[in-house]
Amino acid sequence: MIREAFSELTKAIRAGTFVYTGEIEPLKTTSLEETLETAKILKGHVIAANITDNPTAFAYMNSLIPSYFIQKEIGLEAVYQVTVRDRNRLAITADLLAASALGIKNVLALSGDHTTVGDDPGTKPVYDLDSTALVDLLRKMVDDGTDIKGNKIDQPPKFNFGIAGNPNADPLDPEILKIERKIELGADFMQTQAVYDVDLMKEFVKQVSRLKVPVIVGIAPFKSRGMMDWMVKNVPGIVVPEDIQKSLLAAREKSKEAFLDENLKIFGDLIKEIRNTPNVSGLHIMTIGFEWIVPKLIEKANQ
């Protein structure tokens, strides 16, 4: 059974449009101002924006609230990210019911970075469900109209839901098998972690193509030299090819502007490669803190 397309994102993917999605990070604040400003910048350039759920285990504003407001105030569709790190199946089910009541149409099921990497490492992690079980919960809610235990839901939610995939995964085989496990449970789409290496990206897309799931490939340009160094040093799962690092460093030696221009060139080319790769449905651009680069990037890639 193919699930109905409830969201604009899923409708566009199914219509064969190459989709762009962005990402917004709510912060440790009670103000929605920045979130809405960011949504405004992204609107018109991306079809939907992911709202992160306590990213890297920092307690930020509950992602449901900005998800609702960017849809209502800005008219930008949200991909409501839900991690299984902070809530048990009871709380997640409750939040998903609320999300549907608020008009959320896309959910992304995630494990979430471990609490020990967060800003209060002593926090008790939950992991009552894992991200695969969350996909199972979503499927049951949407397709069967029940919670994960089988208890009936009155007016079940209408979501399309996605999973994450990691093209940088080394070894790759268990990652592919895990993705397959989730696809068999009924995920509608996949968004990937940031890729920098075209060959890795192509190999990954090739391997998942047999699973027939729309793949939205992630990219994360570098806001600054500091961010690049941090990623290379602290995120062992991410492979940034030497030549990319070198050309960016050389540009930074010249000026900040040159660094950004080089970003545009490198990531513009990368976007072109991704767009020309068979079986890629779209691009997920992660640019926390410098969203203004998104329109420029897409423009560059279109040249």
Binding site for another protein (CB under 8 A): 85, 89, 111, 113-114, 116-117, 125, 127-133, 136, 148, 164, 166, 168-171, 173-175, 177-178, 180-181, 184-185, 193, 236-237
Smallest separation (angstroms) from another protein to the CB of 253: 30
Distance CA 290, CA 104 (A): 25
Shortest reach from residue 107's CB to another protein, in Å: 17
In Å, the largest CA–CA distance within the chain is 62
Shortest distance, position 69 Cβ to another protein, whole Å: 28
Residue among 229 and 299 whose Cβ is closer to another protein: 229
What is the nearest approach in angstroms of another protein to the Cβ of residue 84?
Answer: 8
Short-list 188, 101, 173, 195, CA closest to 139: 188
- Min dist CB 258 to another protein, Å, is 31
| Residue 228 C-beta: closest distance to another protein, Å | 18
Which segments of the chain are extended strands (E)? 19-24, 48-51, 77-83, 106-110, 160-165, 189-194, 215-219, 282-285
- Whether residue 82 contacts residue 107, with contact meaning beta carbons closer than 8 Å, is answered with yes
Q: For residue 65, which amino acid is it?
A: I
- Closest CB to another protein among residues 16, 171: 171
List the beta bridge partners of residue 82: 109
Nearest Cα neighbor of 193 from 229, 156, 220, 233 is: 220
Q: Is the CB of 73 or the CB of 128 nearer to another protein?
A: 128
174 or 226: whose CB is closer to another protein? 174
Residue 184 or 299 with smaller CB distance to another protein: 184
Burial (0-12, 13-18, 19+ Cβ within 10 Å), 112: buried
Q: Which is nearer to another protein, 89 or 158 (CB)?
A: 89
Q: What gap in Å lies between CA 190 and CA 213, rounded to an integer?
A: 7
What whole-number distance in Å separates Cα of residue 187 and Cα of residue 140? 11
